[in-house]
Amino acid sequence: MSSKVTALQIDSIETLSEKTQAYFDVCEEKLGLVPNVLKAYSFDETKLRAFTDMYNDLMLADSGLDKLEREMIAVAVSAVNRCFYCLTAHGAAVRELSGDPVLGELMVMNYRVADLSGRQRAMLDFTVKLTERPEEIVESDRQTLRDAGFTDRDIWDIASVAAFFNMTNRVAAASDMRPNDEYHSRAR
């Protein structure tokens, strides 16, 4: 394990379990790298497992939101919180999934000036309000999403993804987590 993934000196376990090593091998094979966030969590396999279980469910399981939309939410949240790790990793994901490098930059820099569908704008407006002023979310905010075509189950998924990145942004900020350099040049 690289020792400079975060600013925290936490003793890592000596050998990863077979299961975790296999998971990292799959990452290497599919993504060409093991995301640094996984290395950061690997000092404790229970924590690593809890993180990956939640992440994989939210970002990869069936949902009324497609994978690009979930990545757009990830970046819009991370832009509010100015999270270097998540903007880098998920900005790359938006570029890759959309095939549109400028869309990735727009999500990082200011989603409001992107040329989005009404559905996606409503989704990101909700996401950003939920990030900045969660205490002000009221029924009319949910209704705006329904009016844009989302089901209540979709609203749960929008909220859950936005909320998850409000968590990971803060773990990254608190620990000064650094993204893998490879992300920067991808899909430019």
The residues that touch a second copy, with contacts defined as CB under 8 A, are 7-11, 43, 46-47, 49-51, 53-54, 57, 61, 79, 81-84, 87-88, 101-102, 105-106, 108-110, 112-113, 126, 130-131, 134-139, 142, 152-153, 155-156, 158-160, 162-164, 166-171, 173-176, 181, 184-185, 188
Whole-angstrom Cα distance, residue 162 to residue 78? 9
Q: Which is nearer to a second copy, 53 or 66 (CB)?
A: 53
Q: Which is nearer to a second copy, 6 or 34 (CB)?
A: 6
Minimal distance, residue 25 CB to a second copy, in Å: 23
Q: Which is nearer to a second copy, 31 or 142 (CB)?
A: 142
Q: Which residue has the tokens 């970002």?
A: 59
120 φψ region: left (φ > 0), alpha (ψ -120 to 50), beta (else)? alpha
In the chain, the amino acid numbered 1 is M
Non-local CB neighbours of 131 within 8 Å, separated by 6+ positions: 76, 77, 80, 81, 162, 166
Minimal distance, residue 71 CB to a second copy, in Å: 16
Minimal distance, residue 29 CB to a second copy, in Å: 24
In the chain, the amino acid numbered 22 is A
Q: Which is nearer to a second copy, 34 or 114 (CB)?
A: 114
Minimal distance, residue 47 CB to a second copy, in Å: 6
CB atoms < 10 A from the CB of 129, how many?
Answer: 16
The candidate with the shortest Cα–Cα distance to 93, out of 45, 39, 161, 2, is 161
